[in-house]
Structure 1
Amino acid sequence: MDQFSDSGELFVIHNLFYQGAYKEVLAHSTAGYSAPAELQSRIYKYRAQIALGEASAVVSELEDTESSAALAAVKALALFKAGQIDDSLELVQELVESEGEDANVQVLGGIVLYLAGKAEDALLLLSQHENSLAAVALTVQIRLAQNKIDLAAKEIVLAKRWGQDNLLLNLAEAWVDLSIGGDKYQNAFYIYEELTQTPSSSNARTFVGQAVADIQLGRYPEAEDAINSALERDGESTEVLVNAIILYILLGRNYSQFLETLKVQDPTNAFLVDYEEKSALFDTCAAQYTALIVE
């Protein structure tokens, strides 16, 4: 069982975080929690702040983390997201050497190392985990990014031997299914469909997942229903906006409203940067042909 979610106290905030419901994470009350659960809840809340663009505030709040390797790992992630890359990597290296067995050091340190382009170092650190689904999910994400789908699938098979039915494991399995394609698209759809029909798991991110599966299955009307449900729940989420743009392009509809919102919400978003680069390239090519026609 994942040590990040094996406590009933952590069940709700764990699920909220991994569903991307960051504002709900910050609003979640931890009154009456045991000390270990309270610490892990704080970590989820700090990570939610970082995800919402408040990394500098987290760095300031975690000025003194000498007494907690877990909080120091959070600080390392916040430093990285705040643009202090060298300080972040230095802190991660110190933690790996002194507290490499800590689950939060493994996961958060793994995130920093991967973001810094050190994927193999991240995988080595994550491989030290002891029954942590958070480590498994991150390992799966890295393997998929490397296009090593077979290794990602292997992680799921191994995790199912010891991990109970869990939101994070279900999501990781759906990611792999979407990457494998073919008949697996339907399996991914079933996973997301079940999540969207479960009150505790029904949110923007799960509806986006369902929409992606529908798109791959060629079911555009169903995908639009799912995207609309995601927009109703979080119309400012970059993940929702990017997938809404993609769907509307496929449908041949005007997607400018989503594009403008994305520019405001996340101007450095990888999809947006790529979109603008390709748009500029298209304009350059079109101008060349226009000149030929005029001549």
Structure 2
Amino acid sequence: MLAAISPSSNFFHSTIEEEAEADTKPLVFFSRALDLDRPNHHEAAVMAAIPDFLFGLRNSFYLGAYQAAINNSDIPNLPADDALERDVLVHRSYIALGSYQLVINEIDSSAPTALQAVKLLALYLSENKEAAISSLQEWLSDAAVSNNPILRLIAGTIYMYEQEYNEALKHTNSGGTMELHALNVQIFIKMHRSDYAEKQLKIMQQIDEDHTLTQLANAWLDLAMGGSKVQEAYLIFQDFSEKYQMTGTILNGKAVCCMHMNRFDEAESLLLEALNKDAKDAETLANLAVCSLHLGKPSSRYLNYY
């Protein structure tokens, strides 16, 4: 979902109406969206009662607290695998904040495959799209590294941005990590296949129903399905807002739920709070443009940022 399982995605505003169209910053899950250097690390850690030193860092990343993830990344005495995952999350957080060149400069050719994949995402988002896709295809053709979870995640993310959803699923559909499953949910929603998205969500719920990514994926699907499900999505974002630092991701999630429920005044208030956190956040600006149109207010002030 996932840069940030962030991300990355125009899902929020595009599910309301197409009244305000704009390119959005990636929800460097996307998604804004990780246990990516070894499959199901989180659930394995829980089962084996092994301390999960990166839980807080992952959670910050998933929920869009990218600067907090960076600031709290100095964790001593990490095992090698955890140290690599930490570095991946930190660099993806920088990408989510738009610091593409920093990531490109810091990751050299000797870095592990996971970090090389993150660098490709930074290259892609810095408008070096052709070079990034060419390098990505080269890496994916190498049997020795093509199954790396981070590389598959980045491949799925880039092809999702390119709207080549079937190509994205070639690399993500087999899953293996929570974030890959979460990205699959996003891709299927973009393909208007809520039935397949629901199957992916059920897999995530079987692995860890309380995982932050499971809850986020549940909220995305609820919004896509609409109707009474929107209230359930709102409660998920409300729960996040009570448990964790308030972020643009959480505020936008609550605001979109409010817009679906015709509570545009409340949505505007939430979005203005998000704008105070990041005046250039594309998701916030796009949602404010849509909200303003429904409230009969000028939207050009938000569209002019793009």
TM range (shorter): 0.7 to 0.9
% of aligned pairs identical?
Answer: 27
Q: 1:111 aligns with which of 144, 157, 176?
A: 157
**Pairing 1:224–2:247 present:** no
Spell out, residue by residue over 1:30-55, the C-alpha distance to the aligned partner (whole angstroms, 9 max, x if none). Answer: 23051322211211221122223322
Range with bigger deviation, 48-57 or 100-109:
48-57
Spell out, residue by residue over 1:90-117, the C-alpha distance to the aligned partner (whole angstroms, 9 max, x if none). Answer: 3323333322332211211221233344
Residue pair 1:101, 1:128 contacting (<8 A) in 2 also: no
1:73–1:181 distance in 2 versus 1, CA, 3 Å: same
**Pairing 1:169–2:201 present:** no
Residue pair 1:76, 1:92 contacting (<8 A) in 2 also: yes
Number of equivalences: 258
Distance apart, 1:27 and its partner CA: 2.2
Distance apart, 1:229 and its partner CA: 3.2
Instruction: Please state whether the residue corresponding to 1:160 is helix, strand or coil.
Output: helix
**Alignment partner, residue 57 of structure 2:** 13
Give the Cα–Cα distance (whole angstroms) in 2 for the partners of residues 57 and 221 of structure 1: 39
Q: 2:235 aligns with which of 177, 190, 197?
A: 190
**Alignment partner, residue 169 of structure 2:** 123
Instruction: Please state whether the residue corresponding to 1:161 is helix, strand or coil.
Output: helix
Spell out, residue by residue over 1:143-182, the C-alpha distance to the aligned partner (whole angstroms, 9 max, x if none). Answer: 1111112111221112211124111111111111101111
Distance apart, 1:217 and its partner CA: 1.0
Bigger relative contact order (CA 8 A; separation at least 6):
2
Give the Cα–Cα distance (whole angstroms) in 2 for the partners of residues 24 and 50 of structure 1: 14
Give the Cα–Cα distance (whole angstroms) in 1 for the partners of residues 259 and 164 of structure 2: 33
Tell me the TM-score normalised to structure 1 length.
Answer: 0.79
Provide the alpha-carbon RMSD of the alignment: 2.2
Spell out, residue by residue over 1:247-288, the C-alpha distance to the aligned partner (whole angstroms, 9 max, x if none). Answer: 12211123444344xx2xxx3xxxxxxxxxxxxxxxxxxxxx
Give the Cα–Cα distance (whole angstroms) in 2 for the partners of residues 128 and 141 of structure 1: 15
Range with bigger deviation, 175-184 or 146-155:
146-155
Give the Cα–Cα distance (whole angstroms) in 2 for the partners of residues 31 and 155 of structure 1: 32
**Pairing 1:61–2:106 present:** yes
1:98–1:121 distance in 2 versus 1, CA, 3 Å: farther
Give the Cα–Cα distance (whole angstroms) in 1 for the partners of residues 200 and 139 of structure 2: 25
Residue pair 1:174, 1:191 contacting (<8 A) in 2 also: yes
Distance apart, 1:25 and its partner CA: 2.6
Counterpart AA for 2:145? E
Give the Cα–Cα distance (whole angstroms) in 2 for the partners of residues 254 and 115 of structure 1: 29
Bigger Rg over Cα: 1
Residue pair 2:219, 2:233 contacting (<8 A) in 1 also: yes
Counterpart AA for 1:241? L
**Alignment partner, residue 102 of structure 1:** 148
**Pairing 1:152–2:197 present:** yes
Counterpart AA for 2:261? L
The runs of 5 or more residues in structure 1 that have no matched partner are 268-295
1:164–1:99 distance in 2 versus 1, CA, 3 Å: farther
1:153–1:33 distance in 2 versus 1, CA, 3 Å: farther
Residue pair 2:73, 2:86 contacting (<8 A) in 1 also: no
1:192–1:183 distance in 2 versus 1, CA, 3 Å: same
Instruction: Please state whether the residue corresponding to 1:197 is helix, strand or coil.
Output: helix
Distance apart, 1:137 and its partner CA: 1.2
Instruction: Looking at secondary structure, tell me which structure has more helix per residue.
Output: 1
